[in-house]
């Protein structure tokens, strides 16, 4: 970008500080304002961006002369913050999930459309190494006719983290893994295999607070069935991805290192990582296993696309129809998945 776009970040916790802020900086945006009412996070913001204005309210944030607002606050206030930016005439990126429900997501999307304001949600996992490698493999046809996807975010955290609002806040207020991890699983599944309908789901709370164990089964129009598992109570996590086809299977066991790199203070300089960001990927044909070349992951591509959308009118990187579909599936999963429990 020849002229740096001025961006304000609403919220400076995990998402704001360790995902959006470094990516924005690495992709050439000028972070001119950060909103947080938390004193510790205000200190973090000032330490990370000494020249940046730190404000307490969303109204103060959108009063700045901004080209973009990034909503990285708690799910509870995603809609409030996004609508404040839209009403101020400022394009918006909303961290996933865009809204806590389909109705809330529709409100945000419809408001942006009525106002003619650019809007996208941060489904960054579409730029993981595994996601990009899968697209390459699917395009090659090496798996034959694909019929099944197993996609997982499984961890073993038997004790609740009392410092995490995601683990302690009610689903109504935006807590739980159905709103935290399933949006990524659903988003990538529909990106790879197209529109899908929910077939069945289980949604449970095994540690006594908000939902922490869910399995969703989707039927894609393409014929693929997706099994999506998000759980904090898995002592033996399965592979991150397994895709089954008539001529073989693709297996990717681990996430790429981008999240770990961002948490360690690194970022893609000028939108490019200077360290490896690949996941190992394998084609299985029974007992024959072949490692294949992975595509490097890069979340920076999301914000590079955002910059083009703002400056040239190019398409925004995530269609809002995808955000609406993800929200609808989550609503249905919550309704279906909790009936038996």
User: Could you report the per-residue pLDDT of 104-163, keeping only the tens digit for each?
Assistant: 999 999 999 999 999 999 999 999 999 999 999 999 999 999 999 999 999 998 887 777
Distance in angstroms (rounded) separating the CA atoms of residues 60 and 230? 37
pLDDT score for 247: 98
Longest CA pairwise span in the chain (Å)? 61
Question: Can you give the pLDDT at residue 3?
Answer: 66
How far is the C-alpha of 133 from the C-alpha of 293, rounded, in Å? 8
Tens-digit pLDDT profile for residues 259-297: 999 999 999 999 999 999 999 999 999 999 999 999 999
Res 162: pLDDT = 75
Note whether 217 and 227 are within 8 A (CB). Answer: yes
In the predicted model, is pLDDT for residue 231 greater than 90? yes
pLDDT at 337: 78
- Which residues, 6 or more positions from 65, have their beta carbon under 8 angstroms from its beta carbon? 6
Q: For residue range 303-323, what is the model confidence (pLDDT) as tens digits?
A: 999 999 999 999 999 999 999
Q: Which CATH class is domain 6-122+304-317?
A: alpha beta
pTM of the model: 0.95
What is the structure's pLDDT at 167?
A: 72
Per residue in 25-35, pLDDT tens? 999 999 999 99
Chain-centroid distance, C-alpha 331: 17
pLDDT in tens, 163-184: 776 777 777 878 889 999 999 9
Domain ranges of the chain: 6-122+304-317, 125-297+327-337
CATH class of 125-297+327-337: alpha beta
pLDDT (tens digit, 9 = 90+) per residue, 198-221?
999 999 999 887 889 999 999 999
Beta partners for 92? 69, 119
């Amino acid at each position: 970008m020849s002229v740096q776009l001025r961006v304000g970040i609403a919220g400076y916790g995990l998402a704001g500080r360790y995902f959006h802020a470094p990516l924005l900086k690495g992709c050439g945006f000028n972070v001119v304002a950060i909103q947080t009412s938390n004193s510790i996070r205000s200190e973090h913001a000032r330490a990370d961006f000494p020249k940046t204005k730190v404000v307490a309210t969303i109204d103060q944030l959108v009063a700045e002369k901004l080209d973009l607002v990034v909503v990285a606050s708690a799910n509870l206030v995603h809609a409030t913050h996004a609508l404040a930016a839209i009403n101020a005439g400022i394009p918006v990126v909303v961290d996933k999930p865009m809204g806590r429900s389909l109705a809330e997501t529709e409100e945000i999307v419809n408001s942006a459309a009525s106002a003619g304001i650019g809007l996208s949600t941060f489904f960054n996992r579409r730029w993981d190494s595994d996601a990009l490698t899968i697209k390459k493999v699917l395009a090659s046809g090496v798996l034959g006719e694909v019929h099944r996807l197993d996609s997982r975010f499984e961890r073993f955290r038997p004790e609740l983290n009392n410092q995490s609002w995601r683990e302690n806040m009610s689903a109504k207020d935006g807590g739980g893994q159905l709103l935290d991890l399933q949006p990524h699983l659903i988003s990538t599944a529909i990106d790879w295999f197209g529109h899908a309908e929910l077939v069945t789901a289980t949604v449970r709370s095994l540690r006594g607070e908000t939902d922490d164990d869910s399995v969703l089964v989707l039927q894609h129009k393409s014929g693929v069935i997706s099994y999506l598992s998000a759980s904090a109570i898995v002592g033996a996590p399965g592979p991150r991805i397994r895709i089954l086809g008539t001529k073989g299977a693709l297996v990717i066991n681990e996430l790429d290192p981008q999240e770990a790199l961002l948490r360690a203070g690194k970022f893609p300089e000028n939108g490019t990582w200077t360290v490896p960001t690949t996941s190992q990927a394998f084609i299985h044909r029974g007992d024959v296993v072949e490692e294949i070349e992975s595509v490097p992951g890069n979340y920076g591509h999301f914000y590079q696309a955002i910059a083009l959308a703002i400056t040239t009118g190019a398409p925004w990187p995530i269609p809002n129809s995808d955000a609406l579909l993800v929200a609808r599936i989550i609503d249905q999963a919550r309704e279906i998945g909790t009936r038996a429990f």
